[in-house]
Amino acid sequence: MGYVAVKGGESAILNAEKLVDYFRLKGETQPLNVKAIKEQLRLACDKVMSEASLYAPELAALALKQTEADTIEASFLLRAYRSTLSRIGYSEPVDTEEMFILRRISSAFKDIPGGQILGPTRDYVLRLLRFELLEERKEDKEKLFPKIDEDEEPPKRIPKVINILREEGLLPKPKIKKDEKPYDITRCALVFPLPRSGILQALARGEEGAMMAIAYSSMRGYGDIHPTLAELRVGFVPLKIKHPLTGEIVKVGDILVTETEIIAGKPTETGEDVPQFSLGYGLVFGHNERKSICMAMLDVTLKTENPKHPAEDQEFVIYHIDSIESSGFTNHWKLPHYVTFQSDLDRLRKIQKEKRKND
């Protein structure tokens, strides 16, 4: 009676849980320090926070530790934790011109007001394994940073590249509706067509790989958006909320974000007198340039009036980029399906029987 063994019951589950910890810790090394993960696996933590849509660096590091750096599972842990927190309000819109910039580039113009700031990037590094890191020591770290000058003045407010294009009438002016409430997909189920705030929210919490695959399909040939990267910036932005009692705007902290603005270089009717370019926008938690670029690309493709390709189809894109949903359902096929399979068997046998009888 083989399959009945699947009913392992409680003790089997408990033992499986123990085994997971055993495999996580059976090696010779000390248990990982969460702080070290937070500091040295910075980008993994950022990815987890972004896909979980919860800004909590330490908990993201914990989730990575607990899941042995299975980032999709780690995002899932953090997303689940998110459900335990009450929504007490919405922040004020973030002004990214106030960003404390770590990195800022534009591929649209050679020189831009405020200058190109390369910042921490591996874009131009030779992708060679650095074998010396196999034995990296504390002294090596000290040699790298002999002295850090903390008195340097923080950079000033740096204007946006797209504002120059807006002033020239090449891009449409933003239509700001005051006090418009965002469509919140964590509180309302998806409806189509989804308002843009809902689309941006879904993209901001989407899984990088899934988004990149779909955005790439559009860049490669299933669509034509002719993108140019107007500006990409990485840095800390102040987060402000309206105080629930006094009504005053107060700063509650800084968050690290990556912002991308993409120009779709195809003349479009934007409601102005003359055709203009259109804009795609990406903003994600943490330092994640790929995801931010893909978000901006998809923001462009999803505005296509008569969708022809997958990347242009709202339902196709929005329903399939959330890794918490897709990984959960993928894994559920491991659950027993013997009742449903019994029903299917019954149908096939009946059909076979009828067929044999008639032949």
Partner 1 sequence: MIKGYNFAFIDEYAKREIRRKILKAVSIPGYQVPFGSRELPIARGWGTGGLQITLSLIGKEDILKVIDQGCDESVNAVNIKRFVKATTGVSITTDTLKATIIQTRHRIPEEELTETQILVFQVPYPEPLRLVEPQESETRRMHAEADYAKIWVYLYENIVRWGEITIGARYPVLVNGRYIMDPSPIPRYDVPKLNYARTLYLFGAGREKRIYAVPPFTEIKPLEFEDHKFRIEDFTDKCCALCGSKDTFLDEIIDGDKRIFTCSDTSFCKKRRKNPNIPKSSRKK
Single residue of 20, 25, 43, 80 touching partner 1 by CB under 8 A: 80
Closest distance of CB 60 from partner 1, Å:
15
Closest distance of CB 62 from partner 1, Å:
14
Single residue of 29, 84, 246, 306 touching partner 1 by CB under 8 A: 84
Residue 20 makes contact with partner 1 by CB under 8 A: no
Binding mask 286-325 for partner 1 (x = CB under 8 A): -----------------------------x---x----xx
Single residue of 188, 249, 250, 252 touching partner 1 by CB under 8 A: 188
Residue 76 makes contact with partner 1 by CB under 8 A: yes
Single residue of 95, 186, 249, 308 touching partner 1 by CB under 8 A: 186
Q: In sequence order, which residues have a C-beta less than 8 Å from that of residue 270 and are 6 or more positions away?
A: 172, 276, 278
Residue 85 makes contact with partner 1 by CB under 8 A: yes
Residue 83 makes contact with partner 1 by CB under 8 A: yes
Residue 15 makes contact with partner 1 by CB under 8 A: no
Closest distance of CB 61 from partner 1, Å:
18
Residue 338 makes contact with partner 1 by CB under 8 A: yes
Give the Å distances, CA to CA, from 47 to 41, 56, 119, 208, 330.
10, 11, 19, 8, 21
For the record, the structure tokens of 272 come out as 């102005």
Closest distance of CB 191 from partner 1, Å:
7
Residue 192 makes contact with partner 1 by CB under 8 A: yes
Classify residue 61 as exposed, middle or buried by CB count within 10 Å of its CB (0-12, 13-18, 19+).
Answer: buried
Single residue of 127, 187, 220, 356 touching partner 1 by CB under 8 A: 187
Nearest Cα to Cα of residue 255 among 239, 242, 240: 239
How far is residue 343's CA from residue 185's CA, in Å, rounded to a whole number? 36
Residue 7 makes contact with partner 1 by CB under 8 A: yes
Cα R_g (the chain), whole angstroms: 25
Nearest Cα to Cα of residue 284 among 174, 203, 214: 203
Residue 340 makes contact with partner 1 by CB under 8 A: yes
Containing 266, the helix (H) or strand (E) segment is strand 249-268
- Under 8 Å between Cβ of 64 and 37: yes
Single residue of 87, 130, 138, 156 touching partner 1 by CB under 8 A: 87
Number of residues this chain uses to bind partner 1 (CB under 8 A): 57
Q: Between 14 and 25, whose beta carbon lies closer to partner 1?
A: 14
Residue linked to tokens 């002999």 = 146
As a dihedral over the C-alpha atoms of residue 140, residue 141, residue 147, residue 153, rounded to 10 degrees, the angle is: 150
Give the binding range for partner 1 (CB under 8 A) out of 160-168, 236-244, 277-285, 340-348.
Answer: 340-348
Residue linked to tokens 């005051």 = 178
Residue 79 makes contact with partner 1 by CB under 8 A: yes
Give the Å distances, CA to CA, from 131 to 32, 95, 136.
22, 42, 9
Nearest Cα to Cα of residue 162 among 98, 113, 103, 94: 113
Instruction: Give the residues lining the site for partner 1 (CB under 8 A).
Output: 1-4, 6-10, 12-13, 76-77, 79-87, 184, 186-193, 315, 319, 324-325, 327-332, 335-340, 342-347, 350-351, 354-355
